[in-house]
Structure 1
Amino acid sequence: MTADPATQARAFPFAVEGLRLDPLYDRLRREEPVLRVRLPFGEQAWLVTRYQDAKFVLVDQRFSREAMHGRDVPRSMPYNSTTGIVTMDPPQHSRVRTLVARAFTQRRAEALRPRTIEVADSLLDDMLAAGPVQDLVARYALPLTNTVISEVLGIPREDQDQFREWSDLALSAAVSPERSEEVAGQMWDYLEGLLRRRRTDRTDDVLGAMVTKGEADLSEPELIMLAMTVLVAGYETTASHIPNFAYVLLTNQHLLDALRTDPDLMPAAVEELLRWVPLEAGAGLPRYATEDVEVGGVLIRAGEPVLVDPAAANHDPAAFGCPERVDFHRPENPHLAFSHGPHHCLGASAARMVLQVALDRLLARLPELRLAVPEDELVWKTQQLIRGLTALPVAWRAATSPPNRPAPAR
């Protein structure tokens, strides 16, 4: 990778190959931890790669998401989206987040565990019946996540496939600005009608809670945008990580054996996989400096955008011993997979629960699970903002009597 001689900015994102980070990150963390980058669209930005610098930018109030508005934001897609809770700063951000935070507590996530197990086992029943080789993405990861997220939000069963399609399009870098605007408009109209019905037909789901708790404090557009953000962010990220994590296990027999031998390792294993597996193909939304701030020995001028790369931070040897090794016995694991600070992921507890259940049931129900094709024949997404496989064909030995142990609680 070479710098653009005219701007001294490196092209970003760097090389994306499966789940491996570009080796360039190792040198950058040592020699150039805060550097200028140029994304396919928008203005140049600073990129932060070290763990401590990343945490600093994520919590320091001199770095603003709200300042994105009206700027040519550095991004990987042609359209420029600067709306919703992810582009707010405190206190407005705190006000909106507080209204729905109770719907995403760890306690509520645990209450959903039995239903998630039920959905996972039903999908695995179908896979076993259809066998002997099935695509783990299409037959398990996507429908499991789509069903759980939709039920949590309160999306009717008959509309869940449509929402899955909208979510896929919303995170595609190959979608034109016109198509992106069309999809956003369709989601908006649908959610507007659904929220309107919630006002007369109260329900115990996230959309119902948003209407009940938010009517006096949130405008109609704020409610709709919040619902869109929760849906898209929650679905695509978790749905991609299920096959990503399964791939890591299936290509590292000692890790698979460790979980089969000791299923109680599952919560720690999910945390370590969240740390080790990069999710975004880039670095997400920028934060703009509201005044001159020094980061990692580099002066960031007021008005300049800063990108935080959580995957690079999660592989920083200054924060994690032997970061390139997947270690289910890592004593401390304060990873940034769910970000940090005010914009820490609202659905982190729910995502953890779904990932734990998905992997536990998969290993319990499909003994001797293995890849059904050579590893080099697997195809990775290239036009999505989220890393993942387009398909993960797997095979297994049929169990004589399916285990029925519950997935371990975190």
Structure 2
Amino acid sequence: MPTSRRLSIAMWCAGIASFALLHAPQGLLTFVAADLGRSAAAVAWIISGATLGLALSLPLWAVLAARRGVAWSMRVSATTSALIALLLPLAPTLELLVAGRFLQGAALGGIPALAVALVHEVISGRRAAVVAGGYIAAASIGGLSGRLVAPLLAEIGGWRLGLLLLDLVGAAITITMAVLLPRTAPCGAPAGRTLRVFLRQLRDARLRALFLMGGMLLGAMIGMYNAITFRLEAPPYALPAAVVSFVFLAYLGGTAAAQLSGRLSLRFGLRTPLLAGCALMLAGALLTGTTPLPLVITGVVLLTTGMFLAHSVASSAVAGFAGTDRASAGSMYNVFYYGGSSLFGWLCSAAWTASGWPAVVTVLGALAIAAGGCALAATRR
């Protein structure tokens, strides 16, 4: 099998499995809250704990990749995260479940931290942009499948059974990715050099703007999905959880946007698709503040599509701006990306608990506008 084709399949496996494992419990938050008697803000840490662990682990994965190779590090990440995933449904309390999710996120961090860097290391040119876009598209499918299937399984056998079955499938796909990854050579860079590269990249105005933008993008989307299930299961909608799970089909808009992102950036440059993504997110946030259910769902689709469009272009731009240090830059981007997810994902749930959906819309709109400002800063001539 040609290297580019093998890598493309591996990246699809990486995107599907890693994001299914990371985000599947989001469709189970209302089940966990009801079962354990906890608030929306409390159970939101099931998601925020995992993304926080992932964010904090990313510099370590970058150092390990420099010492042992990108592909080797991704294989270790895949194997470790798969094993931890299988233990999570056994956690007896919310606190232990959150702790396990933190460890799972830390173990899983090597895949999103290094995937785009691996693509650019193995292949180059337009083909690299297409394969990287495919990885982002696969990530949206993984996030969708986990969130969509988990509530349906939970309706049948409870949230623990739903989580276990999804983790089994995710672990199998993750191991498949590990087998398909091509070998890469380590550069043997000392840890001190890698840390100096991180500091230099943080001083780069373009990269810093893209790092901040990534945190706002994912934070807004995760925060919206954390809170929207509670809103739709409450009056005036009072929808069953199995029906509410279909709101995650909005991820298909993200899949299409991620696939188109490489071609759009080649045709229009970076600024136009970045700003278009932020504009779609703002429009979507405002629409979710309306009452008619079709308009609310349209808002969810627009925000999701805009997030994946902007994220796909931003993450690829980071790899391009960083040159030979793209693995370190990718890790730093993901530190902000998942750190923002942890912070703003919890903040939206806290806003819902405190003041209802208008407060959530305020947070989402502010994040979309701030992300647009970062896009302007990153593409300033």
Q: Give the TM-score range, shorter chain.
A: 0.3 to 0.5
Give the alignment's TM-score, normalised by structure 2.
Answer: 0.33
Select the structure that is richer in strand: 1
Bigger proportion of residues as helix: 2
When normalised by structure 1's length, the TM-score is 0.31
